[in-house]
Structure 1
Amino acid sequence: MGSLQKTKEQAVDLNSLSFAQKQRLSFIDFSLLFKGAVSRKKLTTKFEMGMANATRDLAVYKELAPSNMEFDQKERTYFQAKTFKPLFNYDARQTMAKLSNKISDGFHGVLETPFPVDAPYQLNVPDIFIVAKIVQAILKQKPISIIYTSLSSGSKAREIIPHTIVDNGLRWHVRAFDKKTESFRDFVLTRISKVVIKDTPIESHEEEINDHQWVRMIDLQIVPHPNNIKEPKAIMMDYGMVDGVLELKVRAALAGYLLRRWNVDCTPDATLKGAEYQLWLKNSIALYGAKNLVIAPGYTENE
């Protein structure tokens, strides 16, 4: 997940560690950072190793970073210490990509073979340590206090109950229940400057299952734009359409982001002009009742 960074506390010779052991130490570090805990059992299950080997790896990690974890005898688990500082360096873009693909380890060293794949840069990348705290809160089902800077009211303290981190294609946000407005909303991760996990239970109406825009699934039928495209077959090939239609099932809370990202014309009669509108939403009526559609190209609520 990252490269080792040597500290004054370390007594172990980092050069003496095998690549495999660095991977296991990376998993320990990652688990402490994003999950807030790690155990011998997690190590043995993840790497199919014996308990004695897991104990040795945890001891090595403890020697490398003595202030990073505390052992709870009752739960037989190592928890993140308040003085935790990552043993590894984490590249923000790579880490966010791996988090979104459910990858929880993978030390980046000289033995890894780079893949000949590239992608355009995102203009903004969240603070990994802000993300880590939010991930911990989601896993523990706890509220968080944040300092959030909005376009309308500037920087203010908010209390939210997060349930999912989302890459909408343009930026990262967290879907959460907002105590202030008593509603589920999207909070842009790069606008959060401080996170404190609160040790209080969440109420039933604040749970993900009651985020109706999140749990509601919408069936979209996207086709080549009937007026802007001369060769619809090319568009069909681009998007792997079957019988000229790309059928998608998307959360209502995310529909607007998807439609904007791909410049899908959402007008009833495909009236948007321009080379950027290569796709048309054939069944715009399916969006009825969905919120956050002001960003969907051409969509109006009275349709």
Structure 2
Amino acid sequence: MTTTALKKWEVRRRLEEIDRQLYWAGSVGRTDLIARFGISPQQASTDLKIYLDRLGQAVRFNGSIKRYVPTEKFQPQFISPCLQDYISWAGEVGHAISIVPFPFRKVSIAVLQPLTMAIHQERSIEIRYRSLTNPEGTVRRVTPHSIAFTGTRYHVRAFCHRSQEFRDFVLGRIIEAYNLDEAGLGKEKDDAWNTLTIVRIGPHPELTAAQRTVIEADYAMVDSEATIHIRRALLLYLLDQFNLFDQKSDRPASVQQIILLNPEVRQLVDC
């Protein structure tokens, strides 16, 4: 394989595809490359030769299925295998992962676009924001610096000029965004956003030893513990999602499954 060939973006993409077909699907052939990239049979053969020249005995040709298959020596050369890589690739080749649907949280592009402009230009913007206490919405000036996703909805993190503090604003509750102006405090002053907090979780102590083993494997725990590094500003959402915010829970161990091993972090949440 020549260095020049590797530097070509389109060739690199096809070599990555060969890697993925071998690693995730267990075989690869010319037709995979032809269907995926719309290239000629000759080009597909050339790509396979480039790939095989590099891997040598790690791949062999299976005559019964007329496809190349990995041997025990095979290790992908152009990708870093992980769950995210498979999910992305599977969707592209027609084997999309099924995801549990959540209720749709509307985000208006007419609102999002001026907010992103304010973020990138480091300026403030006026928004009309509605809440349960003010369903019609109130106008306030904010200086946004980041978009955050909690797992169920999107927020914009911003300095609120009225309250003189950093707050999260649900994007779907912003009715209007307009009138860019001078900025207030920026991200560098948002201590809760810039401070990383370590959350330690472990299996519920009332689970049986065998059940705890299952939970430890689920969360890749080491010595019955897993650590999560999260921005302090987002801590509440994590604790809420796993029902870890309340000091005591009436949920049975088989439902709760994990507990907070450093409960003092609850005091860091701005309620």
**What TM-score do you get using the length of structure 1 for normalisation?**
0.54
Return the letter of the residue paired with 2:205.
P
Return the letter of the residue paired with 2:102.
Q
Q: Which stretches in structure 2 are left out of the alignment for 5+ residues? A: 1-9, 11-83, 85-91
1:136 to 96, 117, 133: 117
Structure 1 runs (4+) greater than 6 angstroms displaced: none
Return the letter of the residue paired with 1:166.
A
Residues in 2 aligned to 1:157 and 1:221: alpha-carbon distance in whole angstroms: 39
User: Residues 273 and 113 from structure 1, CA distance in 2 versus in 1: closer, same or farther, beyond 3 angstroms?
Assistant: closer
SS at match of 1:256: helix
8 A Cα contact 1:145 1:197, kept in partner: yes
Is 1:176 matched with 2:155? no
SS at match of 2:256: coil
Comparing 223-232 with 250-259, greater Cα deviation is found at: 223-232
Equivalence for 1:152: 133
- What do you get for the CA RMSD once the two structures are aligned? 2.3
Equivalence for 1:235: 215
Equivalence for 1:208: 187
Residues in 1 aligned to 2:221 and 2:264: alpha-carbon distance in whole angstroms: 20
Equivalence for 1:291: 270
Indicate the structure (1 or 2) with the bigger Cα radius of gyration: 2
User: Residues 215 and 229 from structure 1, CA distance in 2 versus in 1: closer, same or farther, beyond 3 angstroms?
Assistant: farther
Equivalence for 2:196: 217
How far is 1:239 from its partner?
A: 1.1
Q: Percent identity?
A: 28
Residues in 2 aligned to 1:290 and 1:216: alpha-carbon distance in whole angstroms: 12
Is 1:193 matched with 2:175? yes
Equivalence for 2:18: none
How far is 1:228 from its partner?
A: 5.0
1:247 to 227, 239, 244: 227
8 A Cα contact 1:177 1:184, kept in partner: yes
How far is 1:133 from its partner?
A: 2.0
Residues in 2 aligned to 1:115 and 1:194: alpha-carbon distance in whole angstroms: 39
Return the letter of the residue paired with 2:97.
V
SS at match of 1:116: coil
The structure carrying a bigger helix percent of its residues is 2
Residues in 2 aligned to 1:259 and 1:289: alpha-carbon distance in whole angstroms: 11
SS at match of 1:119: coil
**What TM-score do you get using the length of structure 2 for normalisation?**
0.60
How far is 1:178 from its partner?
A: 0.7
SS at match of 2:112: helix
Equivalence for 2:143: 161
Residues in 2 aligned to 1:201 and 1:143: alpha-carbon distance in whole angstroms: 6
Residues in 1 aligned to 2:124 and 2:260: alpha-carbon distance in whole angstroms: 38
Residues in 1 aligned to 2:106 and 2:208: alpha-carbon distance in whole angstroms: 35
8 A Cα contact 2:129 2:174, kept in partner: yes
1:263 to 243, 249, 254: 243
How far is 1:241 from its partner?
A: 1.1
Return the letter of the residue paired with 1:273.
R
Residues in 2 aligned to 1:276 and 1:138: alpha-carbon distance in whole angstroms: 41
SS at match of 1:150: coil
Q: Which stretches in structure 1 are left out of the alignment for 5+ residues? A: 1-19, 21-100, 102-111, 293-303
Comparing 270-279 with 150-159, greater Cα deviation is found at: 270-279
